[in-house]
Amino acid sequence: MKIRVIPIITTIFFIIIFILFYRGLENSNIYVPKTNINKQIPTFNAKLYNSSEEVSSSKIFKDNQFYLMNIWSSWCVPCRDEHGFLKELSDEKNLKLIGLNYKDNKESANKFLNELGNPYDIIFSDPKGIIAIDWGAYGVPETYLIKNKMIIKKTIGPLDKNSIMEIKEIIK
């Protein structure tokens, strides 16, 4: 009897391994942080883009108002693609657009805005990229929809038709 136990256990073991690998095949192998987060926004001090004045974020983000925080840079190619969508959103009355200019230099950023238009109500600059980390971003562009100091929606990568439809749906 004893001899039969080991083969059965081994077989079952390998069947389990097989199933695990099989299921694992379906999962993506590239890690993306969770986007359906409901998190308090970080507080930070940052220089405003147009002046050297340093502002605390707590003065900017008010309750009962939707904000869209967009991390962008003039050197980032997808930012160019999504810029049109941002301008479309800037027409929305109950949404304030806040830009975070990520590791950029002023000249090319100005050129970028002059060329494509400025959809932002306020722009912070983040020359070292540290504020972006505060927000949990790891690339440009990333976009956060905020209400009552909570992040209610996060988009990694450029905005597209679908994502702005969703945003419009939420802020209605």
Partner 1 sequence: MKIFKLLTLFLFLFSFCSSYAEQEKLEQKITKNLRCLVCQGQSVHDSDTEFANSVKLLVKKKLNEGLTEKKIYDYLKDKYGEWILFDPKFNKKTYFLWLLPILLFVIGGLLIFKLFIIRKN
Partner 2 sequence: MASLIGFYSLVFGICSSVAIIIFSIQNFRNPKKLNEKILILTFLQFFLVTISFLGLIISFVNSDFSNETVFNHSHTTKPLFYKISGSWGNHEGSLLLWLLVLTLFIFLFILKSGKQPTQYRILTLLFQEIIIIGFFIFLLKTSSPFNYIYPIPEEGLGLNPILQDPSLAIHPPILYFGYVGTSIIFSSSLSAMVVNYISKEWAKHIKVWVLISWIFLTLGILLGSIWAYYELGWGGFWFWDPVENVSLMPWFALTTLIHCILVLEKRLELTSWVIILSITTFTLSMSGTFLVRSGILNSVHTFANDPERGLFILIFLFTLIFLSLFVFFFFHKKETNNKSSFFLVSKETSIILNNWFMMYFLSVVLVGTTYPIFLDVISSDKISIGPPFYHKLIIPFLIPFLLAMTIGPRLKWIKSDLSDKFILIIFFIISLLLSLYIVKTLKIDFLINSILISFVFYLFFITLRDFFNKKYNNLSQNIAHFGFSLFLLSIIFNNILSSEVITNLKVGDTFKSEKLKIYFENITQKNEKNFESFVGEFVVENSQGDVFIMKPELRIYNQPNIATSEAYIRTSLFSDKFMTMNLVQNQEYFNVRYQIKPLMIWIWISVLMITLGGLMSIIKKNEN
Footprint of partner 1 (CB under 8 A) = 30-31, 33-34, 103, 128-130, 132-136, 138-139
Q: How far is the CB of 72 from partner 2 (least distance, A)?
A: 13
Residues that bind partner 2 (CB under 8 A): 6-7, 10-11, 14, 18, 20-27, 29-31, 73-75, 103-105, 108
Among partner 1, partner 2, none, the one that 26 touches (CB under a kind-dependent 5 to 8 A) is: partner 2
Per the structure block, which two tokens stand in for 72? 């962008």
Q: Please say which residue, 103 or 149, places its beta carbon nearer to partner 2.
A: 103
Identify the residue whose tokens are 């990568």.
157
Residue 137: Cβ within 10 Å count? 22
Q: Please say which residue, 14 or 138, places its beta carbon nearer to partner 2.
A: 14
Q: How far is the CB of 39 from partner 1 (least distance, A)?
A: 8
Q: Please say which residue, 18 or 138, places its beta carbon nearer to partner 2.
A: 18
Per the structure block, which two tokens stand in for 32? 């993306």
Number of alpha carbons in the 13 Å side-chain half-sphere of residue 34:
6
Per-residue b or e along 16-51, where b marks 16 or more CB atoms closer than 10 Å to that residue's CB = eeeeeeeeeeeeeeeeeeeeeeeeebeebebbebee
Q: How far is the CB of 90 from partner 1 (least distance, A)?
A: 26
Q: Please say which residue, 10 or 56, places its beta carbon nearer to partner 2.
A: 10
Type and span of the H or E element at 101: strand 95-102
Identify the residue whose tokens are 């970080």.
42
Q: How far is the CB of 36 from partner 2 (least distance, A)?
A: 13
